[in-house]
Amino acid sequence: MTTYGAVSGVEYRKWLMAVALGLLYIFLYAPIAYVIYASFSEDIVWPFPPSLTLQAYANVFNDSLYGDALINSLKIGVGSGVLSTLIATAAVIGLLRYPSRYRTALFIVFLSPLFVAELLIGISSLAFNARILGLSGNIFSAIAANAVEGVAFSFLIILSQLVRYDWQMDDAAMVFGAKPLRCFWEVTLPTIWPSVFGAFLISFILAFNNLEISFYNLGAIPTLPSVAWGSLRFGLGPELFAIAAMTNALVFTIFALMYVLMRTGIVKFGYRGT
Amino acid sequence: MGEGPVSLSLRGISKRFGQVKAVDGIDLSVGQDEFLSLLGPSGSGKTTLLRIIAGLELPDRGTVVVGGQDVTRQPPYRRKIGMVFQNFLLFPHKTVAENIIFPLRMQRASREECVERLGWALNLLKLKGLEARYPNQLSGGQQQRVSLARGLISRPTLLLLDEPLANLDRELRAEMEVEIRRYQKELRIPFIYVTHNQEEALTMSDRIAVMRNGVFEQIAPRVEVYQKPATAFVASFVGQSNHLLGKVMQCAAGQLVIDWKGRELTVPCNETLGAGEAVRFMIKHEDVQLRAMGRASRDQAAFNRLKGKLRDIIFKGQTANFILEIDNGCELIASGSLRDTDVRAGDSVLVEWPQTAGVCFRDKP
Amino acid sequence: MTSLEIQAPEAGVPARWKIPPQLLLIGPGIIFIIVTLLLPLLAVVVFSFWKTESYELFMDWNLENYWVLFREPAYRVFLVRSALGALATSFICLVYAWPVAYFIARHGGRYRLLLVLLLAAPFFTGVILRIAALQGILGPGGLINMALGMVGLQPIEALMYTPVAATLGHVYLFMPFMVTAIYLSLVNFDFALLETAKINGAGPLRAFVEVTWPLNWIGTAIGLILVFIPCLASAVTPRFLGGPKSTSFGMSLSQQFGETGTWALGSAMSVVLFVVSCAIVLLMGFTINPRRSGFTGGRR
């Protein structure tokens, strides 16, 4: 069988891009692998040659500091994830569904947090809370400050899917007796949920692991990143590596599950092709 | 129109979009078992009018009364109206059955009723066996049936159809035209059907409202719209006509004698026009008869008769279009069956039509 | 025609027509952004004209903070260093992210979402841990140099505590943003347009330059901003990977709010950082022509 030049050119480029993707994954996951490996090592500064132990994992469950930090991080992650997803979903719908002459300006307002560095968000909310409002660091201001970035990312993610949405679908639902909220629940959300879920996930991760914003808003309340930051002075404790390893184990279990579900075609996660 | 109670009445409906008057003071009454078509070119405001009836658009002025209730300020979900959309708008994540019973669920109908009505709708629209499919597993025609089933399932007081056949191929369209009319006659629910396709409107409707620039040019039974167009626009939009531009020579009661490029024609006219005024005479292709030279046998006086040459025959299946070159240099088209004529391209022919046929209006520049 | 008795219209118009629904939907977001972003930034601008004395801000309007930033060459060096680093990182990310995003969008099929999520998954591990791990891999006792040592080669100096290492760290941290931004643009791109270009005689490269690139420029520009801005402000990465000659503007800035407690000077530095960021965003903004972007702006 003859292969035409053009066809093989396409194949060739495709494989080259696949290799680039593969290399990127290796690059991204090498440190993760290192973290997992080091969490089992006796000496985390000089982990080679290997000498394995579960000591770090035992310490995690014995020291209440890590438990507290994990719970605080989860609170901030979930709180800011939910807050940003709600705000962003409402805003995108409001902007796309109803024509407005201020649309472009409003787009810029909602995307503006992307143009402000985390460090600036952290520092400015610290300065604002402490000096203008007279508040000391608390978990609510940390959730709010983290959600600033989350809103922008969620807005971008949801926008990218919702621009393709046919709003006449809502018209149809409404003519057949669905009130606006019911419309959203029955028709809009089932179509756009992958992006809403993605938005929540991204804003959760950003807030969960955020050092700079949380650090300046929390004061003495520990989170996982701030404990990591604090322990840097004495060298990182292997316990943090152990927590990270467990988080990754959980995340990859979920991914594997997703893959199996997709493979068997039970769930499509919004993909509507063949 | 007229027998039976009124299902829908519109009074003085107007709607602007910026500077554009999309709908401009529309009055309309639709009877209980009437099939009404809103016919017009794109941008004539017919879809906007339909969306106002559905409640998807709020009119600037006027009232909408459905089933005796003023619903002008009511949101769409309180109006109990059914609707069928151009691109079907089936919910992609719901099965056929879920799509069809959606309106019933919104009205909190009982499970038994849903099942019973679903059976009825599947039966009516020949959708048995497709209940569990998703819309992207259906053909265009099937999607349209599901869309119709969804529109009809909750016994709406009114069914609105927004160019529902525009996305179907020709054969399927012809089939659906007949079926949609049958459903309307069986169910005795008023249908309001928006289309830009005159054939669809003529096939299905009891009455046709021809719309242009946000106003009705004519609203009348379909035959009347076809045979007695009220305006030049209607005459040119419905059916295929020859347009003859001429000047008035004489104006008598209901009749004009016009000068068309050096030929004298007698045409019907309802307007009173002065001599010398420019007019546009429109005669449908099928009203123009052609005969081989020397075969004219009818009463000379009641016919307009012209000499010409047959330039070409455009075969269209059941009929053919005869392209005629009249001896004043102008072109006319006549349509008829090929079987009845034995003329060939290049033959000299006689062209004639009754003096009562066609319509004539003052020609607005 | 028999007209029926017409019922009087319902008293009270339903709420749907009263408060514009878009206000209900957008309003909370606008208020949120104002309170949590705009007002704090405004506060920082105000503070930059104040003074700090013994760890306390005092209202005493002056331009001293900006004068210090202008006078001391160190701050200029920090700023230029950060900007160059950010520029290099953005460029590397741009060049590498395009083929990767293209592959996922075009050939990812039903696994597209999973492939993108795999790019985001490293973020579940904190920045500090990943930086420490990178240090563990690149550093003197790390995987790479130890392996080189075992086979008798010299360790690669450039990977240890240099600006190159810091840039590598930035690429590591921000590449996923770039890929995701381009990917999100490409999934909305109609690849059939490329067929059209090819039928009309454009080669693959020409089709890319004439069609794909301009229609996905907004997504790419957003990606560039998402990489450039955090790099410019980065404090943690250069501190751990960059070594002594890599003090960045962000590091110095966070010191003002931490160790040295000079909030007023820190505020002035924040303002400078913000102004530079805005300039970059505006610069990118000027390259965007909405009419040529293919974005139709939502409804109809």
Helix/strand/coil percentages in chain C, nearest 5 = 75, 5, 25
Query: Does the structure show a pLDDT above 80 at B283?
Result: yes
Domains defined along chain A, listed by start: 64-234 (1.10.3720.10)
User: Cβ separation of C3 and B9 shorter than 8 Å?
Assistant: yes
Q: What is the average per-residue pLDDT within B35-60?
A: 90
What's the per-residue H, E or C state across chain B?
CCCCEEEEEEEEEEEEECCEEEEEEEEEEEECCCEEEEECCCCCCHHHHHHHHHCCCCCCEEEEEECCEECCCCCHHHCCCEEECCCCCCCCCCCHHHHHCHHHHHCCCCHHHHHHHHHHHHHHCCCCCCCCCCHHHCCHHHHHHHHHHHHHCCCCCCEEEECCCCCCCHHHHHHHHHHHHHHHHHHCCCEEEEECCHHHHHHHCCEEEEEECCEEEEEEEHHHHHHCCCCHHHHHHCCCEEEEEEEEEEEECCEEEEEECCEEEEEECCCCCCCCCEEEEEEEHHHCEEEECCCCCCCHHHEEEEEEEEEEEEECCCCEEEEEEECCCCEEEEEECCCCCCCCCCCEEEEEEECCCCEEEECCC
What is the per-residue pLDDT across B81-138, written as a single tens digit (0 to 9) for each? 889 988 888 998 888 998 998 998 888 888 998 999 999 999 888 888 888 888 888 8
Q: Out of C33, C120, C132, whose CB is closest to A202?
A: C120
What is the per-residue pLDDT across C79-135, written as a single tens digit (0 to 9) for each? 999 999 999 999 999 999 999 999 999 888 878 878 888 888 888 888 888 888 888
Size of interface A-B (CB pairs under 8 A): 63
User: Cβ separation of B81 and A175 shorter than 8 Å?
Assistant: yes
What is the residue type of B49?
Answer: L
Q: Which residues of B touch A191 (CB under 8 A)?
A: 92-93
Pairing of strands B35-39, B191-195: parallel
Best residue in A13, A15, A19, A21 for a mutation probing chain C (most C CBs within 10 Å): A21
Strand partners, B123: none
Domain ranges of chain C: 73-288
Q: Name the stretches of chain A with pLDDT < 70.
A: 1-8, 43-51, 233-236, 265-274
What is the per-residue pLDDT across B136-145, written as a single tens digit (0 to 9) for each? 888 888 898 8
Map residue C2 onto helix, strand or coil: strand
Q: Are A139 and A177 in contact (CB under 8 A)?
A: no
- Degrees to nearest 5, angle at CA C158 with C153 and C162: 145
Query: Does the structure show a pLDDT above 70 at C17?
Result: no
The pLDDT, as a whole number, for residue C1 is 37
| Cβ within 8 Å of A, B 36-55 | 51, 54-55
Q: Which CATH architecture has domain C73-288?
A: Orthogonal Bundle (1.10)
| Whether A128 contacts chain C with CB within 8 A | yes
User: Cβ separation of C7 and B1 shorter than 8 Å?
Assistant: no
- Residue with more model confidence, B11 or C296: B11
Domains defined along chain B, listed by start: 6-236 (3.40.50.300), 240-362 (2.40.50.100)
pLDDT confidence bin for B73, thresholds 50/70/90 = confident
pLDDT confidence bin for C28, thresholds 50/70/90 = very high
Q: Out of B29, B70, B73, whose CB is closest to C6?
A: B70
Give the other-Cβ count within 10 Å of B62's Cβ: 17
The pLDDT, as a whole number, for residue C29 is 93
Q: Which residues of A touch B56 (CB under 8 A)?
A: 171, 174-175
**In the numeric block, which tokens belong to residue C206?**
């020409």
Name the residue of chain C whose CA is nearest to A34's CA: C133
- Degrees to nearest 5, angle at CA B66 with B60 and B71: 45
Q: Out of C6, C10, C16, whose CB is closest to B68?
A: C6
Report the percent of chain B where pLDDT is more than 70: 96
Q: Write down the mean pLDDT value for chain B.
A: 86
What is the per-residue pLDDT across C140-189, written as a single tens digit (0 to 9) for each? 767 777 777 777 777 777 677 788 888 999 999 999 999 999 998 888 88
The pLDDT, as a whole number, for residue C6 is 39
Q: Out of A24, A38, A124, whose CB is closest to C44?
A: A124
| Whether B60 contacts chain C with CB within 8 A | no
The pLDDT, as a whole number, for residue B1 is 44
What is the per-residue pLDDT across C123-139, written as a single tens digit (0 to 9) for each? 888 888 888 888 888 77
Q: Which residues of C touch B68 (CB under 8 A)?
A: 4-7
Dist. CA B44–CA B216, nearest whole Å = 9
**In the numeric block, which tokens belong to residue A46?**
């000089």
User: Cβ separation of B70 and C9 shorter than 8 Å?
Assistant: yes
Q: Are B85 and A174 in contact (CB under 8 A)?
A: no
Dist. CA A264–CA C228, nearest whole Å = 40
User: Cβ separation of A151 and C124 shorter than 8 Å?
Assistant: no
| Cβ within 8 Å of C, B 143-162 | none
Which of these, C13, B207, C175, lies nearest to A28 by C-alpha position?
C175
| Distinct helix (H) and strand (E) counts, chain A | 12, 0
What's the per-residue H, E or C state across C140-199?
CCCHHHHHHHHCCCCCCHHHCCCHHHHHHHHHHHHHHHHHHHHHHHHHCCCCHHHHHHHH
- Degrees to nearest 5, angle at CA B57 with B53 and B59: 80
- Residue with more model confidence, A274 or B332: B332
The pLDDT, as a whole number, for residue C5 is 37
CA distance B80 to chain A (A): 7
What is the per-residue pLDDT across B209-255, written as a single tens digit (0 to 9) for each? 999 988 898 999 989 999 888 888 898 888 888 998 888 888 887 78
The pLDDT, as a whole number, for residue A226 is 83
* Chain A: partners with 3+ C-beta pairs within 8 Å: B, C
* Chain B: partners with 3+ C-beta pairs within 8 Å: A, C
Q: What is the average per-residue pLDDT within C197-224?
A: 86
The pLDDT, as a whole number, for residue A46 is 63
Q: Out of A166, A177, A190, whose CB is closest to B77?
A: A177
CB-neighbour burial class of residue A179 (10 A; exposed 0-12, middle 13-18, buried 19+): middle
User: Cβ separation of B75 and C14 shorter than 8 Å?
Assistant: yes
Dist. CA C88–CA C81, nearest whole Å = 11
Q: Write down the mean pLDDT value for chain C.
A: 81
User: Cβ separation of C33 and A24 shorter than 8 Å?
Assistant: no
| Residue B305 CA, distance from chain mean position | 32
CA distance B107 to chain A (A): 7
The pLDDT, as a whole number, for residue C18 is 62
| Cβ within 8 Å of A, C 235-254 | 235-236, 250, 253-254
| Whether A59 contacts chain B with CB within 8 A | no
- Residue with more model confidence, B15 or C137: B15
| Whether C128 contacts chain A with CB within 8 A | yes
Dist. CA C42–CA B307, nearest whole Å = 88
Query: Does the structure show a pLDDT above 90 at C266?
Result: no
Provide the residue count of chain C. 300
Strand partners, B264: B259
- Residue with more model confidence, A176 or C296: A176
Q: Out of B77, B89, B93, whose CB is closest to A179?
A: B77
Instruction: Give the phi and the psi of residue B258 in degrees, each rounded to 5.
Output: -120, 160
The pLDDT, as a whole number, for residue A3 is 45
- Residue with more model confidence, A112 or C290: A112
Q: Are C227 and C221 in contact (CB under 8 A)?
A: no
Dist. CA B235–CA B280, nearest whole Å = 11
Map residue C134 onto helix, strand or coil: helix
User: Cβ separation of B70 and C8 shorter than 8 Å?
Assistant: yes
The pLDDT, as a whole number, for residue C299 is 35
Q: Out of C110, C124, C176, whose CB is closest to A268?
A: C110
What is the per-residue pLDDT across A72-124, written as a single tens digit (0 to 9) for each? 889 999 999 999 999 999 999 999 888 888 888 898 899 889 888 888 888 88
Residues 6+ apart with CB under 8 A from A187: A169, A170, A172, A173, A178, B91
| Cβ within 8 Å of C, A 29-48 | 29-32, 34-35, 38, 45-48
Best residue in A116, A169, A179, A251 for a mutation probing chain C (most C CBs within 10 Å): A116
Half-sphere exposure of B146 (CA within 13 A, CB side): 31
Q: Which residues of B touch C10 (CB under 8 A)?
A: 73-74
Which of these, C30, C100, C10, C86, lies nearest to C250 by C-alpha position?
C86
The pLDDT, as a whole number, for residue C8 is 37
CA distance A169 to chain B (A): 6
